Amino acid sequence: MALKITEDLSAGELRALARRETNGRVASRLLALAGALSGMSRAQAAEAAGMDRQTLRDWVVRYNAEGVAGLRDRPKGHPPEALTEAEQASLANVIFRGPDPKKDGVSAWTLPELCRWIEARFDKQVHPASLSRILRRNGFSRQKARPTHPQSDPGRQARFQKRGSPRP
């Protein structure tokens, strides 16, 4: 037995709403309902709107319960944060402190290096692009300090800048 569609709005009114609708998915659902109300079989109405008969039935149930507002997509949930607030604070502290070449094995933090640090420290895998979004949300920019060699000697560099290289 076919599921009855409430006739609060006629097929013509549903088509008029579909013409004014800015969301294409909602407009196709309205047109499928209008087709079914105007005498098309459910299978034909669903096929004309680009869906199958079972999908049209699901939209009829929502339309009967909620009206035209029921034809809109419901908001999707957001995935949980990759890092907790405490982990983000710890990450910010590590970034501000800078890497220790002997302990961390790097002379400048890059996104892949920070991802490896997070995996070692928190046992969580974070993609560099995701980490970039997390860092930007916490006020960090993409700029980083120029890397320095771990065995560089600031005194020698200062002497070289003053006198240049020794002549043979």
Per-residue pLDDT of 104-128, as tens digits, reads 888 888 899 999 999 999 999 999 9
Check residue 101 and give its pLDDT.
82
Residue 39 belongs to some domain of the structure: yes
Look-up of token digits 């974070």: 126
Q: Is residue 6 part of a domain?
A: no
Query: Looking at the 3D structure of the chain, how many domains does it have?
Result: 2
Task: For residues 57 and 111, state if they share a domain.
Answer: no
56 shares its domain with 105: no
**What is the domain range of residue 136?**
85-149
- Whether residues 57 and 94 share a domain: the answer is no
Q: Which of 24, 39, 71 is the last residue of a domain?
A: 71
What is the distance between the alpha carbons of residues 51 and 31, in angstroms, rounded to a whole number?
A: 11
Domain shared by 41 and 89, yes or no: no
pLDDT tens per residue across span 29-67: 999 999 999 989 999 999 999 999 999 999 999 999 999
Contact 135, 144 (CB under 8 A): no
160 within some domain: no
Pair of tokens at residue 168: 């043979």
Query: Is the per-residue pLDDT at 161 higher than 90?
Result: no
Q: Tell me, yes or no, whether 161 lies in a domain.
A: no
Please indicate, yes or no, whether residues 89 and 50 belong to a single structural domain of this protein.
no
| Residue 58 and residue 30 share a domain | yes
CA distances 113 to 3, 22, 65, 106, 137, Å, are 58, 45, 53, 8, 19
Query: Of the candidates 26, 44, 71, which is a domain's last residue?
Result: 71
In a domain, 47, yes or no: yes
Q: Is residue 80 part of a domain?
A: no
The reported pLDDT for the residue numbered 166 is: 65
CA separation for the pair 112, 118 (Å, rounded): 10
The H-or-E segment that residue 149 falls in is none
Q: How far apart are CA 32 and CA 53, in angstroms?
A: 10
Domain end (from 71, 96, 115) = 71
| Residue 159: per-residue pLDDT | 81
**Radius of gyration (Cα) for the chain, nearest Å?**
31
What pLDDT score does 72 carry?
A: 95
Three-state SS sequence of 11-70: HHHHHHHHHHCCCHHHHHHHHHHHHHHCCCCHHHHHHHHCCCHHHHHHHHHHHHHHHHHH
Q: How many angstroms from the chain centroid is the CA of residue 51? A: 27
The pLDDT-based confidence of 1 (bands split at 50, 70, 90) is: low
On whether residue 163 sits in a domain, the answer given is no
pTM for the whole thing?
0.52
- Do 97 and 50 fall within a single domain? no
Q: What is the pLDDT of residues 87-99, one digit of tens each?
A: 999 999 999 998 8
Residue 76 lies in a domain: no
Whether the predicted pLDDT of 164 surpasses 70: no
Same-domain status, 33 and 66? yes
Question: pLDDT for 58-106, tens place per residue?
Answer: 999 999 999 999 999 998 888 888 999 999 999 999 999 988 888 888 8
* Residues 29, 62 within the same domain: yes
What's the mean per-residue pLDDT of the chain? 89
- Cα–Cα distance for residue pair 159/162, rounded to 1 Å: 5
